[in-house]
Each structure stands twice: as C-alpha cells, then as structure tokens.
With several copies, the nearest count.
Chain A
Amino acid sequence: MAMMRYAEALNLALREEMTRDPSVFLMGEDIGTYGGVFKVSRGLMEEFGESRVRDTPISEQAMTAMAVTAAMTGTRPVLEIMYADFLPLSLDALINQASIYEYIWNGQVQMPFVLRTQGGGGAGAGAQHSKALDALVAHVPGLQVVAPVTPADARGLLKSAIRDPRPVIFLEHKLLYNTRGEVDTGAEDLVPIGKARIARAGSDVSILATSKMVIEAEKAADLLAQDGISAEVIDLRSLRPLDVATIQLSVAKTNRAVVVNEGWRFCGYASEIAATIMELCFDDLDAPVERVTLPDMPVPYSEPLESAVLPNAQKICAAAKKTLA
C-alpha cells in the first residue's frame, strides 16, 4: 500500500501498462517534454521514448480519428484531450467512426483505445474550460465511459481501460489530481469496468454520484446524518455500461434516489439515471428521483457566480430531504 495523489496513480497505471505491453503508446498536447499540464504523464517520455509518448500539435480532430484507426491496426493508443470542453472536436471520430466499425464490419476489427480527458468547474477556468460533457460521450453506443474519483480506482480503471478490447472514454476532474488516497501498489488491483462502488452504506436515501460529485455526496451524507438521515452514497464509476444491479439493490432498500452529476441538466447524464431508476424501481420509489446538476447555462468565471451554479453538498442535502418530505 502507498499513499499517492490521483495524478500519481494515473501516472503509475500508464507506466505499468506501457511496461507490460509495448503496443501501448500515448499521444496528446504537452504530454511529453512537459509531462502533461496536469503532470499525469510526467517522466514517461524519458522512460519510453518519443515514439511511444508523442507531443501533438493542436489538432484534436485528427488526433482522435488517428487513435481510432491506430487501435484498429495493432497498437493501443492512450489519447489525452486536455479539457473535456474540447470533446466536440473529437466527436465525429467517436460517433461516426469508433462507434460503428466493429458492428458494421461484422467484427472484422476492434478498437482498443483510451481517450483520457478532464472536465468540471471550481477552478475559475471559465465557460470554455469548466464543463462536464459526460452526456455527449455516454450517449454513443460502442463507447465505454468511466469516471474514477479515488486514486485506487483511477489506477485500477485506467489499467482495465487500456487492456479492454473496446474504446474507453476516461473522465477525470481537474480538482481531483491533487487528492490523495491509498493505492495497493503491490497488486494489479484492476477495477472492472461496469461495476459501481458503494462509497457509504445507508438506508433512507440513495445518492448516486459521478466523479468529483461523489466527494460532495459524501459531505452531504455527513450533513444528513446530523439530521438523523442515513444516506447511501453510490459512486457510479462506470457511467457506461451502467451497473444497474447495484442501483436497483440500493433503491429497493431506500425507496428514494438523488442523482448528482456536474453536467447540464436537460438531456444530461443525470436524466438517464433518473429515467432508468424510474423504469427499474418504479414500485420501490416513494418519491420522484431528484437530479442535482449544473443549471442549464454556461459556467461563469467569477468565484461567487461559479460557486452558485456548481452542485455541492448543500444542494444534495436539499434534494435528499425533498425526497423524504
């Protein structure tokens, strides 16, 4: 076991997988010489060379499309897109290319690539560098989408993603890189894609959260506990495929659910979870599923404005209490 930062856990996973499999390579902006703007790939160019760790020009569209077909032809690209806000530039390669080939070519190809990116607000980075666009990628069939919140899951899920035969979109959060946690460096500790994590057991209300929102949900659970409310916090972890079994078990127990996602509300990721819960747990539900999300507007820059729009523990508490009212 070792205590490490989220960014270090990702770095470890990359180093381990690149050592294990010579077909794994990295590409992205400023990931080589500089080691990535969040230092996730620090030291890897020195260790694995410039052929396997590539600084790219600012060309997200072609980079993503190239990763898709490189993955089709014998290598395992791990692509870093610096901010999730740039995902629209990658989307044609994901929706019109990666999404379709395995099926329409009747299984002639597979595409084992990972697209790492980070989103979310709270850093005063403004409307073009603070979005969580989970829904854009989660909507695309053929893509798997994961969003680890702990360093252990960051390492375990990244290793699983790199080994997976199919595309994985790996969503990080700019405010998680410096968070610390235990990582079992001795073991492989692969975390399977498709399994949620019960961050905290509870009996009165289920709070299903993603990425950094899991931390807010845990804070909310503490606050709710003070009012004698026992909240179960579920870290969805795997946004797609969704671990419906874990969700069903929890809601069957609590009869109430709050979904927390940092993306926009309308047609957002939280909408899918709310719809799924309603569908699978209709008779169990004592109240409508509450959605706690970013309001449907751009993320403002100034601190008081940004704080007002981001989902947080207080908003989650209020939503939880609404389901219990």
Chain B
Amino acid sequence: MKNTPSLDDQIEMYRRMILVRRLEERLGALSKEGRTRGPIHRCDGQEAVGIGATAMLTDADYLTSTHRGHAHYIGKGVDVYGITAEILGRSTGLCGGRAGHMLIADAARGMIGGNAIVGAGIPAAAGMALSNQILGNGRVAMCIFGDGAAQTGIWHETMNMAALWKLPVVFVLEHNQFGLTVHSDRQGPVADLSIRAQGYAMPAEIVDGNDAVAVYRATAAMVERARRGEGPGMIEAKTYRWEGFSTSDMGGYQKPEDIAAWKARDPIEIARAALLPAVGADRLDAIAAAATAEVEQAAERALADPFPEFEPCAFTAAYSEVL
C-alpha cells in the first residue's frame, strides 16, 4: 500500500511510542511526589499521532508543537534525556531549564518548537514554510495542533495564506475530543473539523489517530505533495486523551466508559499487534524493555543534574537595560 512505512520504520515508531508513554508515566509519578514544577500536559493514549505524523520528516524539516508536545518532540528525534532534564528544570536540559516542558526546542532537529499559546504553532509552521519556499530549499514544515486550536482565528488566517501561496506546510489536527475540560462538541458545531479545509481548496484526510501506521500513510502523502510544491494539506487524527488536561486537572468531566473504550484501543498495543507476526514477541519485548530503561536512565540522570545559575539575558544586556 502506498506510503506504508518500512518494517524498520514501524519498529522505530513502536519504540518511540513506548518512550513517550513511559516518559508521561514517569513525569506523572514525579509530579505526584512534588518533584516537578508547573502544570505538565501528558499525552498518554495519543502517542500514535505525534509519532506517526513525524516519522517521515528529516532533521531539515521543521515541526511546531503545542503545550502537549512530548510525542511530537520524540517523533522529531529529540533526545529523551535532554527533554527530561529540561522538564525537570536542569542546566543540562535542551534549553538550559529556561523553557520548561511546553516550550522545548531543538533547532538541530528542526523542532522549533513547543508553544503554549493555543494556535500559535500554526502560523509558526507556515512562516517556516514561507522561508522554505523563498529559499527553495525543499524543506517542509509541519504543525501539530489540537481540536481546540482549530477554533482560533489564526488557524483560519494561516490556512488561507498557506493555500493561497501553496506553502510547503502540513497541518496535523490532533483531535483528542477536548479543549482543556470542554468537549469539542461544545466548542464548535461540526464534529469533523477538517471539512473546513474545503473552504481553502485544500486536501484533507481523516485518520484513526490511534493507528500510527494509518497516521503515517496519510501524513506522508501530504508531506510528499507539499515537498513537490503542490501546496499544503491537512490531516485530522481522531484520538483521545486518557489523563487530565494537565497534572493540575481536578477531573470530573471525562466519562469513565469513554476512557475505558479508548484504552481498549491503546496505540501501542495496536502497533504491537501489527508487528507481532513479522517481528515476534521476544524482539518486541526487548525493544519495550530497552525503551523503558532509556526513560528510567534519563530520569535518574536528569534528577541528579544541577539546576542552572541565573545569568542576565543576553539581549537585555545588549540593550543596556537595567536588570
């Protein structure tokens, strides 16, 4: 089937989804112990979107993310230890502890970056695509954003300009059913937000967001199109958020039966089942164990790392302004 990821790609996606899941679980535990700071937005159950949609991108391609970006970071090849250290506010973090979990960037990987202003990652990717088009460098930019972000005005302005100018950008809508606590059916009158792509004469496809391979196939087609200069495309991946909107969620608005139903469709289990025949349980177990160990080691190492020391802001100083 067209755009089907190679077996190695599928194995790597499986491994990365496990990295993400273990990271979320570890962060959840650390937060309960009061060893993290600020709200942390977990994506348990949504791993297939961030991992599947980014697996065909190169380091030269750009990705912008959201406040819920751990799967996006790891999908773009960002180092788990660097992410963990950043989230724990250590000087060894990818941004020296200045950014925190919602705003991580790793320019060398084209991951620039997390964004906690809902909707802001969307024009950010389009701006990078505009650079790509002007420079003719063949790079593609992608933004992954939520169903809530799709209701922001800047989404409309960006879709319109991207389609008008045929920018090499792919819009990946990660539809996890909720804004923070409000269900998407109370945030807009239509269930399938990607029908709006028609209003920009832009191709769009709805996929099972819990099936990494399905997400990969659909997204890869849009990425190729964009790279060929044929313009932007949109993907709407349907998934569900297992945990609260963040570690400070007091809950009470997600139906237990919904959570149960979606947990029964665990993206990691779906990937494992697909790989089992070709790869076998032993190898998959070994991969899972190694991924688990990688997250453990990353966390242990980061927890032992020093906190940063304050230095005046370079540009603040440059502006000879008082600190």
Q: CB within 8 Å of B: which residues of A?
A: 23, 25, 29-30, 32-34, 37, 39, 51-52, 54-59, 61-63, 65-75, 85-86, 92-93, 96-97, 100-109, 123-129, 141-142, 144, 166, 194, 240-241, 244, 265-266, 295-298, 300-305, 308-309
In the assembled complex, B131 has its CB within 8 A of some CB on chain A: yes
In the complex, A30 Cα to B252 Cα: how many Å?
13
Question: B125–A69 contact, CB under 8 A?
Answer: yes
Taking the closest CB of chain B, its distance from the CB of A308, in whole angstroms, is: 4
In the complex, A177 Cα to B129 Cα: how many Å?
34
Taking the closest CB of chain A, its distance from the CB of B45, in whole angstroms, is: 20
Residues of chain B within 8 A (CB-CB) of A97 are 115, 117, 120, 124
Residues of chain B within 8 A (CB-CB) of A265 are 321-322
Residues of chain B within 8 A (CB-CB) of A74 are 131, 135, 137
Q: Which of B42-65 contact A (CB under 8 A)?
A: 62, 64
Question: B182–A72 contact, CB under 8 A?
Answer: no
Residues of chain B within 8 A (CB-CB) of A301 are 37-38, 89, 97-100, 103
Taking the closest CB of chain B, its distance from the CB of A102, in whole angstroms, is: 6
Question: B128–A304 contact, CB under 8 A?
Answer: no
- Assuming A96-B117, A104-B95, A105-B113, is B135 touching A66 (CB within 8 A)? no
Helix, strand, loop or mixed for chain B's interface?
loop
Residues of chain B within 8 A (CB-CB) of A59 are 151-153, 157-158, 160-161
Binds A, one of B10-18, B266-274, B275-283, B309-317: B309-317
Partner of A295, one of B95, B120, B130, B322: B322
Residues of chain A within 8 A (CB-CB) of B1 are none
Question: B123–A69 contact, CB under 8 A?
Answer: yes
Residues of chain B within 8 A (CB-CB) of A101 are 105, 112-113
Question: A241–B164 contact, CB under 8 A?
Answer: no
Question: A104–B320 contact, CB under 8 A?
Answer: no
Question: What are 25 A-B contacts defined by CB distance under 8 Å?
Answer: A33-B182, A34-B252, A58-B119, A59-B152, A59-B153, A62-B154, A65-B123, A66-B123, A68-B124, A72-B128, A75-B135, A97-B124, A103-B313, A104-B98, A105-B112, A108-B112, A126-B103, A129-B102, A142-B315, A296-B323, A302-B96, A303-B37, A304-B307, A304-B308, A305-B98
Question: A73–B98 contact, CB under 8 A?
Answer: no
In the complex, A34 Cα to B181 Cα: how many Å?
7
Q: Which of B104-139 contact A (CB under 8 A)?
A: 105-107, 112-113, 115-120, 123-128, 130-135, 137
Residues of chain B within 8 A (CB-CB) of A61 are 123, 153-154, 157
Residues of chain A within 8 A (CB-CB) of B125 are 69
- Assuming A59-B161, A301-B37, is B123 touching A309 (CB within 8 A)? no
Question: B161–A300 contact, CB under 8 A?
Answer: no
Residues of chain A within 8 A (CB-CB) of B120 are 65, 92-93, 96-97
Question: B128–A69 contact, CB under 8 A?
Answer: yes
Question: A25–B187 contact, CB under 8 A?
Answer: no
Question: A70–B130 contact, CB under 8 A?
Answer: yes
Question: B95–A34 contact, CB under 8 A?
Answer: no
Q: CB within 8 Å of A: which residues of B?
A: 37-39, 62, 64, 89-90, 93, 95-100, 102-103, 105-107, 112-113, 115-120, 123-128, 130-135, 137, 148-149, 151-154, 157-158, 160-161, 164-165, 179-182, 186-188, 248, 250, 252-253, 307-310, 312-316, 318-323
Residues of chain B within 8 A (CB-CB) of A106 are 95-96, 98-99
Question: A295–B180 contact, CB under 8 A?
Answer: no
Question: B180–A29 contact, CB under 8 A?
Answer: yes
Helix, strand, loop or mixed for chain A's interface?
loop
In the complex, A108 Cα to B89 Cα: how many Å?
17
Question: A29–B153 contact, CB under 8 A?
Answer: no
Taking the closest CB of chain A, its distance from the CB of B40, in whole angstroms, is: 10
In the complex, A129 Cα to B100 Cα: how many Å?
11
In the complex, A93 Cα to B312 Cα: how many Å?
23
In the complex, A29 Cα to B149 Cα: how many Å?
13
Nearest CB in chain B to that of A127: its residue: B103
Residues of chain B within 8 A (CB-CB) of A102 are 314-315
Partner of B151, one of A58, A92, A104, A141: A58
Question: B310–A304 contact, CB under 8 A?
Answer: yes
Which of A29, A62, A128, A194 has the most CB atoms of chain B within a 10 A radius of its CB? A62
In the complex, A51 Cα to B166 Cα: how many Å?
12
In the complex, A183 Cα to B157 Cα: how many Å?
39
Partner of B98, one of A56, A67, A103, A241: A103
Residues of chain B within 8 A (CB-CB) of A194 are 319-320
Taking the closest CB of chain A, its distance from the CB of B59, in whole angstroms, is: 13
In the complex, A111 Cα to B151 Cα: how many Å?
26
Question: A105–B98 contact, CB under 8 A?
Answer: yes
Question: A57–B128 contact, CB under 8 A?
Answer: no
Question: B307–A126 contact, CB under 8 A?
Answer: no
Partner of A141, one of B37, B39, B98, B315: B315
In the complex, A144 Cα to B119 Cα: how many Å?
26
Which of B100, B105, B314 has the most CB atoms of chain A within a 10 A radius of its CB? B100
Residues of chain A within 8 A (CB-CB) of B137 are 74
